[in-house]
Structure 1
Amino acid sequence: MLRFFTIVVALLLAGLPQAGATEAGWALLREGNQIVLLVNANAPGHGDPANFDIDNCRTQRNLSERGRQQARRIGALFAARAEPVEQVYSSHYCRALETARLAFGDRLVEPRDSLDSLVRNPEGADEAKKAVIDLVRGYSGSGNLVLVTHPENVEALVGVRAREGEAVIVAPHEDGLVVIGRIVFN
């Protein structure tokens, strides 16, 4: 019995840093003028089919119903807990665009090549990373800026692997970006 309680307490304590980090992330977003790298919501599988066509959603890995619900929940939480989202840039991939549109509405969403998956274009990775860093450095709005992209892009930009639907709050630092907060959407 004692072992059971020890395991339960350990599991509860293990969740506290993540919960604390999520609350700290929301505190940053309430200040406004933050940059968020948001990984697309749940899209089952890995990679895209061999017949991948960026202009044809039927040839891509797309959001599941759970992913669509997750995207709507992300938008509702942003609306309730953060300063307004001023602009949303998204990868052209259907799963990223759908995440952005379900969460923040069509009028704010603008596709950007630099947010497309780096896996598909490794030769252009350095140029894409530079474009995202320049975008972050140049942002001067009062609301939050959301960049909907892919886990591999977040990892290339800041060195952390984010989960589907996770928000990584970043700031410019020296020649790149640094993580200043994270929000995990369950």
Structure 2
Amino acid sequence: MQKFFIALFLLFSLSPAQATEAGWALLRDGGHVVLLRHAMTPGTGEPTNFDIEKCGTQRNLSDRGKQQARKIGALFAARADTTDRVLSSRYCNALETARLAFGDRIVEPFAALDRPAPDGSTLKAQDEAVMQEIRSYSGSGNLILVTHVENITALTGGPSREGEAVIVRPEGEGLHILGRIVFN
């Protein structure tokens, strides 16, 4: 138990660069689950004419966001164990982040990772579906879940930056954050 508290203290006392290095150390071992917030997009919220089937009606990645997604993929390829599976929100900014970073062949759209309804009516069911995926994961590589700040906040109790990776494991009814990787 003492080792746990020491590790927890070190995690919270690390600078972002040190926390990022600690995150990469975890992912080199494989078998972890990563909540990845989609890369950079302009503005906030979706346009009023939003249609999940039409990227032209959604906030899409900016040029900087596309570069960020490619950088995420290159760093995962160079610094982490293999990526077994990538599940992504069906929103175009999340799907494009996943495809640019990890390639089209392993990316699977997963509706439970979509932004929750504005009134919050879908959040509980979505969180349960995501938790089921996380709890049932037993691969030797890493599982990446590309989603939105609202989902990450609901699952972990705290927000993340655009393009930030939050490494988690199930603990009790929720998730325990093991580490973070910040992509500038």
Q: Same fold (TM over 0.5)?
A: yes
**Who is 2:37 aligned against?**
39
Which portions of structure 1, spanning 4 or more consecutive aligned residues, are displaced by more than 4 angstroms? none
| 2:160 matches 1:159 | no
2:106 to 103, 108, 112: 108
**Who is 1:138 aligned against?**
136
Question: Secondary structure of 2:122's partner?
Answer: helix
| 2:134 matches 1:147 | no
Q: Is the 8 A contact 1:119 1:152 kept in 2?
A: no
Q: How far apart are residue 122 of structure 1 and its match?
A: 1.7
Q: How far apart are residue 119 of structure 1 and its match?
A: 4.3
Q: How far apart are residue 48 of structure 1 and its match?
A: 0.3
One-letter identity of the residue aligned with 2:20: T
Q: How far apart are residue 17 of structure 1 and its match?
A: 1.1
Q: How far apart are residue 121 of structure 1 and its match?
A: 6.3
Q: Percent identity at matched positions?
A: 61
**Who is 1:73 aligned against?**
71
- Paired with 1:112 and 1:167, the residues of 2 have a C-alpha distance of 18
**Who is 1:126 aligned against?**
124
Q: Which protein has the larger Cα radius of gyration, Structure 1 or Structure 2?
A: 1
Q: Is the 8 A contact 1:34 1:143 kept in 2?
A: yes
- Paired with 2:158 and 2:83, the residues of 1 have a C-alpha distance of 23
**Who is 2:61 aligned against?**
63
- Paired with 2:119 and 2:106, the residues of 1 have a C-alpha distance of 26
- The runs of 5 or more residues in structure 1 that have no matched partner are 1-15
2:90 to 72, 89, 92: 92
- Paired with 2:28 and 2:65, the residues of 1 have a C-alpha distance of 25
Change (3 A) 1:143 1:121: farther
Q: Is the 8 A contact 1:40 1:164 kept in 2?
A: yes
Note the aligned Cα RMSD (angstroms). 1.2
TM-score, structure 2 as length reference: 0.91
Q: How far apart are residue 120 of structure 1 and its match?
A: 4.2
- The runs of 5 or more residues in structure 2 that have no matched partner are 1-13
